[in-house]
Structure 1
Amino acid sequence: MNTKDRAIAAFEAQFGRAPSAIIFAPGRVNLIGEHTDYNDGFVLPMAIQYGTYLAIAPRDDSQFCAVAADFDGQVDSFALDDAIVPNPQISWSAHIRGIAHSYRQRGLALSGINVAIAGDVPAGAGLSSSASLGVGLSVALAHVSGQNTLTATDHALIAQQSENAFVGTACGIMDQLVSARAEAGAALMIDCRSLETTPVTMPNDLSVLIVHSGVERELADSAYNERREQCENVAKAMNVPALRDINIEQLEAAQNKIPDIAFRRARHVVTENARTLAAAQAFKDGNHQQLGELMGQSHLSMRDDFAITTPKVDALVALLQQAIGKHGGARMTGGGFGGCVVAIMPQSLLPSIMQHVETHYQTPKGAKPLMIAATPSSGADLLS
């Protein structure tokens, strides 16, 4: 049974009727631009064909009732006209309740809803299953509540607010915005300050391969928040709103005023912004070699300056880079401390590269790695 059908089946089993609509919101892979989003910088992600399906129908009362197909049909139900607080008994409930809370915080009217949720983004991979869930839920609530003036960007901001204020993850806007606004066949250049997005068409002869290292991202949340604070402290020390507002020469000139660790964190962000802009141009020019070089530099910067890779992930990146050569590149993608590696290469090389990885790489548990040949997909939408 595919993921969409699992959502429908869970809905019918819980509510005894067919859903009135189906919504899909994609996960994402970030091609380059890591930890730049919350520094008001630039990112270049693309939506993928995996994400979250939501089977929905309006209710006659003010209840929000959600069933999770991926958690053995576990149900969370709460009243939308009462104070919305976390349910500590259900691990995924904060992501559900946080969206409703964000609506309330914005003064948006809410109507009761039944929703069944099923996702196919691999757990612990850093491909933004939580952002796809949040964006999908925001679209669902708008549909049943008549909030027809909300834009795709509004849904992204609602989902980000939920993550920041209710779930407790100090994430930037990248994951939610690409899940909401992506266009099929293209990556999405995002200016995380203005929220301006520019589609960057993926050449037809280029393939994107995601390889799950098998290293679970257990330290990601606390380390993510720590690095965000370090970056913000450097921006304050340099009297600018964010690291987006300085170049490498300015940062180096102030090096003796900044603690070494904080300097290296900032150096990653400043140089990563420059790499991301250059990578978008390399895509447009069809310059696979330059794109690969930029990806390689990005990975070294994440490893040496931002300190968010692991030895196992580093080994996987090196394996891919060696196999791809000058025809593309590879780097860790996502928040860090495990998760996935993304590689870009000509389509003609994809089968042999996948075989090479399967032959020469094992996860920490000794298994073959999960590999996804990713398709650049469109953003969240009502399917029926």
Structure 2
Amino acid sequence: MSSPAQRAKKLFIRTFGTNADDCYQAPGRINLMGEHTDYNEGFVLPAAINFHVVIAAKKRDDGLFRAVTDIFPDEFIEWQFGLENEVNDDSDTLSHWSQYLKGFTATLAQSGLSISGMDVAIVSDVPVEQGFSSSSALEIAFGTAINDLHQLHLSPLAVAQLAQRGEFHHMKLTCGIKDHMISALAEEEQAVLIDCLDLDYDSISLPKELSLIIVHSGKYAEDIQHKYQTRKSECLEVAEHFGLDSLRHVELFQLEREKSNLDESLYKRARHVISENRRTQQAARALEMNNTRRLSQLMADSHRSLKDDFEISLPEIDLLVDIINNEIGDRGGVRLTGSGFGGSVVALVEHELTDDVVLAVEQEYYKKTGIEAQVYLCSATRGACRIDD
């Protein structure tokens, strides 16, 4: 079976009639701890995973961008650098995959950086709409190709920042920078503890005795942007109550002191964010110390907080957490991951329990819900790069 890079090169030749200059890849990601903390300027602990968007690319000299993807092979998208909003075709809808690419080039143009265009052929094995952030992987792979072929000499962090700005300003999407950062700068077999206030980050080694398992519930979030924005607005309302721009600098004792002056739901939202920031830092330390029992408790506390305080879980997600917990006890941890209202759970499990967890999920979850869960056995991988032949 051909590799994604080989498939990308073949698609490029078939589409453009010539060879690509180079191939680039960027990974999807999973968040181990720190949910809904990024837009509150808090801490997150994601890891890049071994599913990738791969782009075969060739530099042009006329400012034109042309793109094709194997997911929609009959769609051929093109636009002129700096004129992304003047195209009038079916790709104008903000949800179209090409908008992630146009957002990046539009942000480059607005930043005063000049590039000369590019042809790209895109293939991907990142599962879509399952919490792996396939869109960020697409943006970072594309940005990495632009950066390298046009010799812009941007750091991986700068590429991530441009991608996040493109989503926010061009696509009008509410998003933090966690997904872009981890896809751009992750290291092999490492998670990354990111401080979303000043964008400092530290690589955290994942214990070799733990398996990384992601299970998609088969439940897909509806109207997720509206729900995400609602939670963000609720957090901001509490921050403003304290005269601050975000919840980052609110301590738990301060929140408790003001509990009677806050709506109960707002109090609960803030309690999740404040306690999750603390848990995320503690989880990083637990991983560094190979303290699986401590990690297990922290992940359990995180899921409980997401369920009861942030109220973004579903019965199916809770069932998956219970099934996995029954198999692993304190020999691993499991929690909801991602924006919530559907999606996936992430588990770190001692290797010898992996088969038991997979079997239990496949049998018990379907028996109780009639839904087949998708189980992914993953490894932590490096961030975006050029693919060497």
Could you state the TM-score of these two structures normalised by the residue count of structure 1? 0.96
Q: In 2, Cα distance between the equivalents of 1:363 and 1:51?
A: 32
Shift of 1:152: 0.6
- 1:348 aligned residue (341, 346, 352): 352
Q: Secondary structure at the match of 1:245?
A: coil
Shift of 1:13: 1.2
Who is 1:43 aligned against?
A: 44
Q: In 1, Cα distance between the equivalents of 2:193 and 2:310?
A: 22
Shift of 1:256: 2.2
Shift of 1:239: 1.1
Structure 1, 358-367 or 136-145: larger mean CA deviation: 358-367
Aligned residue type for 2:366: Q
Q: Deviations over 1:37-72 (max 9, x none)?
A: 111100111000102111100113110101011113
1:25 touches 1:133 (CA, 8 Å); kept in 2?
yes
- 2:143 aligned residue (138, 143, 165): 138
- 1:93 aligned residue (80, 94, 98): 98
Shift of 1:241: 2.7
Residue 104 to residue 342, structure 1, CA distance change in 2 (3 Å): same
Who is 2:204 aligned against?
A: 200
Who is 1:115 aligned against?
A: 120
Q: Secondary structure at the match of 1:158?
A: helix
Q: In 1, Cα distance between the equivalents of 2:275 and 2:260?
A: 19
1:27 touches 1:47 (CA, 8 Å); kept in 2?
yes
- 2:130 aligned residue (125, 132, 136): 125
Q: In 2, Cα distance between the equivalents of 1:126 and 1:368?
A: 17
Shift of 1:190: 0.5
Shift of 1:219: 2.6
Q: In 1, Cα distance between the equivalents of 2:107 and 2:369?
A: 40
Who is 1:154 aligned against?
A: 158
2:79 touches 2:87 (CA, 8 Å); kept in 1?
no
Q: Secondary structure at the match of 1:353?
A: helix
1:12 touches 1:18 (CA, 8 Å); kept in 2?
yes
Who is 2:263 aligned against?
A: 259
Aligned residue type for 2:56: A
Residue 329 to residue 67, structure 1, CA distance change in 2 (3 Å): same
Aligned residue type for 1:82: L
Q: In 2, Cα distance between the equivalents of 1:357 and 1:103?
A: 45
Who is 2:63 aligned against?
A: 62
Shift of 1:88: 6.2
1:85 touches 1:97 (CA, 8 Å); kept in 2?
no
Q: In 2, Cα distance between the equivalents of 1:55 and 1:136?
A: 10
Q: In 1, Cα distance between the equivalents of 2:84 and 2:19?
A: 30
For structure 2, the residue ranges without an aligned partner over 5 or more in a row are: none
Residue 186 to residue 300, structure 1, CA distance change in 2 (3 Å): same
Aligned residue type for 1:107: G
Aligned residue type for 1:127: F
Q: Secondary structure at the match of 1:71?
A: coil
Q: In 2, Cα distance between the equivalents of 1:14 and 1:289?
A: 52
Q: Deviations over 1:251-288 (max 9, x none)?
A: 11112222222221111101100110111111111111
Q: Secondary structure at the match of 1:368?
A: coil
Q: In 2, Cα distance between the equivalents of 1:209 and 1:363?
A: 21
Q: How does 1:218-229 map to 2 (within 5 A)?
A: 218-229=222-233
Residue 105 to residue 188, structure 1, CA distance change in 2 (3 Å): same
* Residues 1:250 and 2:251 aligned together: no
Structure 1, 366-375 or 326-335: larger mean CA deviation: 366-375
Residue 363 to residue 71, structure 1, CA distance change in 2 (3 Å): farther
Q: Deviations over 1:161-182 (max 9, x none)?
A: 0111112221111100111110
Q: In 2, Cα distance between the equivalents of 1:66 and 1:160?
A: 20
Shift of 1:225: 1.2
Who is 1:296 aligned against?
A: 300
Shift of 1:331: 0.5
Q: In 2, Cα distance between the equivalents of 1:376 and 1:365?
A: 30
Q: How does 1:359-370 map to 2 (within 5 A)?
A: 359-362=363-366, 366-370=370-374
For structure 1, the residue ranges without an aligned partner over 5 or more in a row are: none
2:69 touches 2:121 (CA, 8 Å); kept in 1?
yes
What is the RMSD computed on CA atoms of the aligned residues? 1.6
Q: Secondary structure at the match of 2:141?
A: helix
Aligned residue type for 1:95: Y
Could you state the TM-score of these two structures normalised by the residue count of structure 2? 0.95
Who is 1:20 aligned against?
A: 21
* Residue identity (%): 36
Q: In 1, Cα distance between the equivalents of 2:356 and 2:195?
A: 35
Corresponding pairs, count: 383
Q: Secondary structure at the match of 1:234?
A: helix
- 2:107 aligned residue (89, 102, 106): 102
1:23 touches 1:140 (CA, 8 Å); kept in 2?
yes
Structure 1, 175-184 or 237-246: larger mean CA deviation: 237-246
1:38 touches 1:172 (CA, 8 Å); kept in 2?
yes
- 1:190 aligned residue (190, 194, 207): 194
1:42 touches 1:191 (CA, 8 Å); kept in 2?
yes
Q: Secondary structure at the match of 2:85?
A: coil
Q: In 1, Cα distance between the equivalents of 2:282 and 2:152?
A: 39
Q: In 1, Cα distance between the equivalents of 2:387 and 2:369?
A: 38
Q: Secondary structure at the match of 2:54?
A: strand
1:111 touches 1:144 (CA, 8 Å); kept in 2?
no
